[in-house]
Amino acid sequence: MAKTEPVVNANSISRISAGTVIKGEIISPNDLRIDGTFEGKIQSKGRVVIGESANIKGDVVCENVDLWGKLEGNVFVKATLALKEGCEVNGNLHVKKLSVDLGATFNGTCKMISESDFDKIVGVEAKAQQKSAQVSAPAN
């Protein structure tokens, strides 16, 4: 049997275009493409594409990543991280599968993880966020 790729609706892909600067946190159930500048944390249940003009400072947690731009931070990928020619990564990688093109630059460590390791990492982070939100919520 041939494996079929899921059909992606173009309207379900979030996009940060070149020239746009955002600081904060992105949580998305869909695919995401970044061509601008982002500082903070990115969480996606889909694919994150970091375009050639992108500059990311922060952690990325997602299903898959195609990286052409610059990234400074830690990356947690459930399936495949593809470092494309011309990309620059400064940080630690935690991935199930890694693809590195000639001409990609990577400075940091790489740890190969299983899907269950990824689920544990994401679960621990979610619990920490909930606890932080409870602590910072005003008392009634």
Report pLDDT digits (tens) over 82-134.
999 999 999 999 999 999 999 999 999 999 999 999 988 887 676 666 666 66
What does R_g of the chain's alpha carbons equal in angstroms?
16
Cβ atoms of 125 and 108 within 8 Å: the answer is no
Flag whether pLDDT at 7 surpasses 70.
no
φ, ψ of residue 133 in degrees (nearest 5): -65, -40
Q: And the tokens for 112? A: 């190969």
Per residue in 14-29, pLDDT (tens digit) is 899 999 999 999 999 9
CB 68 within 8 A of CB 84: yes
- Is pLDDT of 12 > 60? yes
Cα distance between residue 123 and residue 105, in whole Å: 30
- CA 16, 21, 22: angle at the middle one, nearest 5? 80
pLDDT the model gives residue 18: 94
The answer to whether the Cα torsion of 36, 44, 67, 55 is positive or negative is positive
